Amino acid sequence: MRIALILLLLLAVAAIPGSLFPQRNQNPLQVKQYFIDNPATAIWLDRLSLFEVYSSPWFSAIYLLLFISLIGCVLPRSIEHLKAIGAQPTITPKYLDRMEHFVEIKKIDLDQAAAYLIKNRYRIRRDENSISAEKGYARESGNLLFHLSLVLVLIAIGVGSLFGSKGDAIVNVGDRFINTPTSYDILGFGKYQAEDSLPPFSLKVEDFKAEYDPVTNAPIDYTLTVRTANPANSPETTEVIKVNQPLAYGSTKIYLQANGYSPIVIVRDKSGKVIFDGPTPFLPQDGNLSSIGAIKIPDMNPQIGFVSSFLPTADRDPIRGGFSSYPEVLDPRLLVSVWKGDLGLNTGVPQSVYRIDTSKMERIGLKALTVNETYDFGEGSITFTGWKSWVNLQIVNDPGKGFALLGAILAISGLLISLFTRQRRVWIKQGRKTQVAGLAKNGIPGLEQEINNLVKELSNER
C-alpha cells in the first residue's frame, strides 16, 4: 500500500514535464519548432524522452511498477474476499464492552433481533446466546472492482499500442488525403499492426472555418468540412469534423489537430515560364498565426529558395518588425528573402521543408509582398497570389479504446460503491442483561444512530 502511494505520487511528479515541454504526439509542430529554436537543448531533451513523456521508458517504468504492486496487492485480497463472502461473520467476542460502541439493555428476544438484523441486510451468525452480524461487504467488493478495472484499463492501453497506429498529416484546403503510409508526415504502427492495414479511405478537405474572438483573438470554434469515401473512389459523403468531434471509420478516428496557412505563389524563370505554382504550408509561430516557412525551387537554374514569413494581418513595430496582430487573414503579407545557389536537395539527404540551408547560397533580394504583387529578383519572379488554410489531421487507430472506457466506467463505479457502503459489525449477547455492541470499519459515522435504532426497535417490541 505504501509503495503504491509512493509510486502514485511519483507518477504525478513524472507527468509534470509533459505539460512543460511540447509533446510529439500532441503537437509535433511545436516540437519541430523547439528543435529549430534551441537545437542544443532539444537534443538533450529528446534523449531524455521529454518530448514523449508519456511513452518514455522512465514514465512507463513508474506505472508498470505501480500496476505490478497493484496486482500483487489486489489478487490476494480478491481471494480473501471471495472466501469471506461465503463465510459467516466472526464469532462474537468475549468482552463486548471494549467495543467502540456498547450499550446494555433489558433482555430482548434474540429471534426478533435476528429477524430485525436480517431485514436490515445484515449477514448473521446465530449462536446459542449471541448474534454476530456484519454488513457492507460491498465496500471491499467495490474497492477490488476499482483496482481490477485499473488493470483492465492498462491492458486496453497495451492492446491499443500493440495493435493500433497513429499518424499526422498536413492537408491543404482543396487537397485530397489518401490513407496510405506515404501520405503521412509521421506515422507510428503498433508492434503487431501491418502497414497495409490502414482503412483505404480518401478525404478531400472542402472547407475549414476558424472563428476567433475579435477582442481577445482567442479561437472560439473550428469547423472542418470534408468529402470522404471508404474505400477511395467510391461515392463520397460530406462530413464535418470539429475539435472534439472526430470522424470515425471503425476503430480509426480522424481528429482535427492544428491549423495554419499556406501562402500560394507562382514562381517564373527568366523566360517567364511557370516553374512553381501552388501552396506551401507554413508553421504558425504564435496565437495570431504569424507563420514562417520555406519555398524551395530546386528545378530552376540556379536553384532558388525563399526564406519567408506569412502575416495574416500585417502589423509593424520598431522592436519586433513585422508581425501579425490577428489570426484571420485581414491584411496579408508575404515577406521573402530570396536566395540563389545550391539548396542541397540533390544530395539525397532529407531536409526540413520549413527551412533552407543557406550555407551554399547567396542572398539576392528582399521583399514584403501584398496579394497579387509580383517581385522580380533578377533570376526570375515571384507572385504572391493568395493563401489557403491547412489542417493537421491526426489519424489514430486504437482498438483498445472501448475496453479502456469500460474499465474507466467500472473503476468509477467500484470507487463509488466502496465510498458509499458502510461496513459495520453488530453483536448482541444474551446474559443477565442484553449487551449490544458495534464496530464501524474505517470509522464511518452513523453507527451510533444505527445501534440506537436497533435498541429502540427491539425494546419497543416488548
Partner 1 sequence: MSTPNENAFISGSGIATYLDESDRGPAPKISGQTLTQDFVSLDSKKVSVINVWASWCAPCRAEAPVLQEFSINYPEVQFAGILTRDNISSAQAFYESFNLTYPTFTDDSLLLGFGGSLIPNAIPTTLIIDKQGRVAVRISGEVTVAGLKKMLEKVLSDD
The contact set with partner 1 (CB under 8 A) reads 28-29, 32, 35, 168-172, 175-176, 178-187, 195-198, 200, 202, 231-233, 262, 274-281, 283, 296-300, 344-354, 390, 392
CA atoms within 13 A on the CB side of 2: 0
Beta carbons of 190 and 157 less than 8 angstroms apart: no
Q: Which is nearer to partner 1, 277 or 461 (CB)?
A: 277
Total count of residues recorded for the chain: 462
Q: Which is nearer to partner 1, 63 or 201 (CB)?
A: 201
Crossing angle of helices 28-37/39-47, nearest 10°? 130
Q: Please, what is the minimum distance in Å from the beta carbon of residue 184 to partner 1?
A: 6
Cα 459 versus chain centre, distance: 59
How many Cβ atoms sit within 10 Å of the Cβ of residue 335?
19
Q: Which is nearer to partner 1, 53 or 232 (CB)?
A: 232
Q: Which residues pair with 270 in a beta bridge?
A: none
Q: Please, what is the minimum distance in Å from the beta carbon of residue 285 to partner 1?
A: 14
Q: Please, what is the minimum distance in Å from the beta carbon of residue 268 to partner 1?
A: 10
Q: Please, what is the minimum distance in Å from the beta carbon of residue 182 to partner 1?
A: 5
Q: Please, what is the minimum distance in Å from the beta carbon of residue 231 to partner 1?
A: 7
Q: Which is nearer to partner 1, 74 or 393 (CB)?
A: 393
Q: Please, what is the minimum distance in Å from the beta carbon of residue 19 to partner 1?
A: 22
Q: Please, what is the minimum distance in Å from the beta carbon of residue 173 to partner 1?
A: 10
Phi/psi of residue 47, nearest 5 degrees: -60, -30
**Distance (Å) of CA 446 to CA 114, 122, 422, 425, 442:** 20, 15, 9, 12, 12
CA-CA distance, 176 to 183, in Å (whole number)? 10
Q: Please, what is the minimum distance in Å from the beta carbon of residue 196 to partner 1?
A: 4
Q: Which is nearer to partner 1, 147 or 268 (CB)?
A: 268
Q: Which is nearer to partner 1, 204 or 429 (CB)?
A: 204
CA-CA distance, 255 to 395, in Å (whole number)? 6
Q: Which is nearer to partner 1, 38 or 90 (CB)?
A: 38
Q: Which is nearer to partner 1, 265 or 436 (CB)?
A: 265
All three cell numbers of 61: 517504468
**Distance (Å) of CA 286 to CA 23, 29, 279, 294:** 17, 12, 21, 18
CA-CA distance, 85 to 147, in Å (whole number)? 18
Q: Which is nearer to partner 1, 361 or 451 (CB)?
A: 361
Q: Please, what is the minimum distance in Å from the beta carbon of residue 16 to partner 1?
A: 27
Beta carbons of 99 and 438 less than 8 angstroms apart: yes
C-alpha distance across the termini of the chain, in Å: 48
Q: What is the DSSP letter of 56?
A: S
Q: Which residues contact 106 (CB under 8 A, 6 or more apart)?
A: 433, 434, 459, 462
